[in-house]
Structures are given as structure tokens and as C-alpha cells.
Copies of this chain bind each other. A is one copy, B any other.
Amino acid sequence: MGRGNKQIESAMAQTDIAERVYNHTWKLDPIIRSLLDTDFYKFLMLQMIWGLYSDVDVTFSLINRTKTVRLADEIDEGELRAQLDHARTLKFTKKEMIWLAGNTFYGRKQIFTPDFLHWLQGFQLPEYELTRKDGQYILNFEGPWTHTTMWEIPALSIINELRSRAAMRNLGRFELDILYARAKAKMWSKVERLKKYPDIRISDFGTRRRHSFLWQRWCVEALKEGIGRSFTGTSNVLLAMNNDLEAIGTNAHELPMVVAALANNDEELRTAPYRVMQDWNRYYGGNLLVALPDAFGTAAFLRNAPQWVADWTGFRPDSAPPIEGGERIIKWWKDHGKDPREKLIVFSDALDVDTIEETYKHFQGRVRMSFGWGTNLTNDFAGCAPDDIKELDAISLVCKVTHANGRPAVKLSDNPEKAIGEPSEIRRYLQFFGNEERVSKPVRV
């Protein structure tokens, strides 16, 4: 029994003094701790950009669509610079390089060439330009596309996590305890709803908008634990590596946006999205042949598409309402002689359990589906704080291509609220690609 008593005293009184002093003198709690802490599609695109567009300069810019949130008032500039500076010190570790080279992605071995990996080994994030205007940060990344593209995800995760940290700064230990207990309970009730559909396919797309790295990790663990094989993986490469999950993702709007911006004539502009797809097809294949149809409007994309587009595995409608967008694509496949049941639609815009359930039930048995669940997976704290904290609500923050070789870049999307670019350029693109079937809906996240 003596042992018992000694343990009690120890449990009550023992503090690891070294650890405590160490924790209390931390200068920085880094948000980005690995260059793999980014979305997988960045690597797939990067290999192609490095191969085909290594001479193109591309500017990425932070865009806060939630104008009511004054980021420069919420987040301290010194802290932001310290986090961005810290991310710039990172290099791929030996373990990470070995994993990228040796892992199987989408069923393919050696998806990355030795030359590309050799180049990647020396990679570091390039410089940034940070100023402030009207309560917002103006954050630009200018330089070779091969470098600036890699800022998108870490820049967004850093700003979103700094915003969460600021929002929670005044919470006591107990309030934080309640906050995370409720967030966990809330997340788990979503998991239990999704469990009801054993054939559903869901992956985590929430890196950029996450509340924090640790919270994203918890959400990923929750999905792995809760829905098992229905959880097909995570877009986050670091989490995929550490949790033995599939790294998920294909390509993004930046590819057609840059190629369109570089177009020298109407024909080049019209065919830009398809040229990107042809290049992609040369680099990758099979399950990676998932097209993003909405860069300049899905209607125009489908109308102008060559027949071979129907041979691709699937589409990722990223701004149309999921049921309407999905129906349009299914009709197009049928019109082009394809059986939609052999095709894949990846839904990824503004999903939450309600939308996922509704969409899944609607299309079940008619097409293969996959859900890339983002903001509402990794940053849903509504109703979780003991007293409402509006700064914990996710915002619509993106980091997008604004210029390519000095020319302005444009994204139209199927939702006019998500259009990006200079107003005169947006008008020009609209005139060129048309404005059919674009549906305005508020962009919350």
C-alpha cells in the first residue's frame, strides 16, 4: 500500500519543472511544421508546372471574400510575419522525400519522377509581400509559378489558425475545455450521421480552412475511427503520411487560369482548359483524370468540350449547387454516350452533413460519388464557445492566381460571387465564355 500512497502524493504535487519552464518561454508555436502540411494536388500540379511552365511568373494573392471581417485588426502583423518567416525556413526532410518517392498514390507507384524529386529536395517557400489596407492584409507572392504556387495552402492555414488563436486568447482553461468538448461532440454527431451510409465516400479537404492543425488532425482521426473504409483519405499530405491514409486531390483552377491568362488569341483562350487537360493526361491518368469544369463556367466548358473529355474518369463541380451541377454533368455524359454509373463526381463546394446526405441520396446508384469535405469538417465551431465568439466562425478566405507573366488572370466559376479578377477582365471573359446557367449564392466559406 505504501506504493499507492507515494503515487498519490506524486500525482498531486509533481510538476516537470524543466518542461514547464520550456513551455513558458516558447517564442513561437509554429503553425506550419512541415512542407508536407499542404494539399496533395499542389504536388501533382507542381510536377507539371515544373515540367511545362518553369519559366512562367505567377502572382498569388490573398483574397478575403468576407469583407466584414477585418483580418488586420484581428491578427497581429508581427505574429503573421513570424509564422510566414518560419514556414520559409522549412525544407523537406529525408523521411518525407523517401515517402513521396516510395508511396503509391491513386494506385500508381513512382508518380513523381526522380528529376522532379531531386529538384524538390532543395525547395523552400519564396518571399512574400505583406502590407495592410483598410483593415485587411494585402499578401502577395510574386515569382516563378513553381514557387509561388506552394504558398497557397500554408498561407491560408497560417492566417486561419492565427485568427482562431486570437479569437480564443481571452478564454480561460475551463472555457477552452468546454469549447473543444462541444466541438468534438458536434463532430462526432456528424460522424454518426454519415455512418448510416456504408457506401458513402468522404475525404478531408479541410487543410486551408482549418481551425488549427491539431484540430484537423483530430477530425481526420475521428473520420478514420468513425466511418472506417468510407473515409477515403485526406488532402493533407502530412496527415496522410502520419496516419497511413490515402493522399487525395487532383488539380485546381490555377492551371486553366494561368494558361488562359497567357493566351495570345481567342482560339488559345477557348481551348485553354482542354490544353491543360491534355497536358494532365500526359502526366497522370486513371483516377487522376478528374476535370474541374467551372473555371470559366461549366456551361461553356461542356458546350466547347471535345469528345475525349467524356473519356475522363470524372468531374469536380466546385461552385454549382451540387444537385443541379451533378444533373447537368450526368446529362452531358449521357449525351456523349457514356454510362454515368462508370463515372465519378467529386463534390467539394461548401459541403456539410446535410448537403452530403441530400446529394448522396439524390444520386445514389446513378453515378459514382466522392465528397471532399472542407471547411465544415475542420472549422465548425458554431455554438461551441461558452459565449458566442463570432471570430471563431470560418470565413471565405482564398489565395488565388491574380497575374501570370504580368497579365491579369480570371476565374468566373458557376457562382458569380466566387468570380476573381479585375472587373474589366471578368467582363471580357464573360462576353467570351457566356453567362449561362450561372447561379448566384452567398459564399459563406
Residues in chain A within 8 A of chain B (CB atoms): 1, 3-5, 7-8, 10, 16, 19, 22, 26-30, 33, 85-86, 89, 172, 174-175, 177-178, 180-182, 184-186, 188, 221-222, 225-226, 386
Contacts and interface: CB of A to CB of B under 8 A. Distances in A.
A227 to B, nearest CB: 12
A220 to B, nearest CB: 12
Nearest to A181: B184
Q: How many copies does the complex hold?
A: 2
B177 A1 contact: no
Contact of A1 (B86, B222, B226): B86
Given A3-B28, A86-B1, A188 B178 contact: yes
Contacts of A221: 174
**Chain A residues touching B, majority SS:** helix
B4 A30 contact: yes
20 contacts: A1-B28, A1-B85, A1-B86, A4-B27, A4-B89, A7-B29, A8-B33, A10-B22, A16-B19, A174-B222, A175-B225, A178-B184, A178-B188, A180-B181, A181-B181, A181-B184, A181-B188, A182-B184, A182-B185, A185-B186
Given A181-B180, A185-B182, A5 B89 contact: yes
A172 B85 CA distance: 39
A86 B4 contact: yes
A7 B19 contact: no
A188 B89 contact: no
Nearest to A172: B225
